[in-house]
Amino acid sequence: MEFSWIAAILSVFAVGRVTRLIGFDDYPPMIWVRTRYLALLPEESAWGKLVECAFCIAPYVSALYLLGAYLVGYNAGEWYWWLVQWGALSYAAAILVAYDQPE
């Protein structure tokens, strides 16, 4: 499969949605997961930021998304495309989430 701009754009929105779901949405199963995750951490742990900061969690969500794309056989060419796509996905998804916050 060759590189597709449509797939790249949809990837940004997909990663943005998952990032928002993890960190900000009041969806009951995600509230439960966030609560349990934070309860496992020491009081002042920096790892708590992962569920409170879109810019912190987006690179991890992007990496998992790209791993999934790789495992299902999506091949966009050279190895550096995956590195560029990872950075672009994480940054664009975090920006999308930051500007998609309810009042």
Q: What is the pTM of this model?
A: 0.69
Q: Say which residue, 35 or 81, is predicted with more confidence.
A: 35
**Domain extents for the chain?**
5-98
CA distance 18 to 24: 10
At 66-98, the pLDDT tens digits run 887 777 776 666 666 666 677 777 777 778 777
Stretch 45-52: mean pLDDT: 86
> Could you report how far apart the first and last alpha carbons of the chain are, in Å?
41
Reported for 21-30, long-range contacts at CB under 8 A and 24+ positions apart, including other chains, are 22/51, 22/57, 22/61, 23/51, 23/52, 23/53, 23/54, 23/57, 23/97, 24/54, 24/97, 24/101
pLDDT in tens, 9-27: 777 778 888 888 888 888 8
Distance CA 38, CA 90 (A): 22
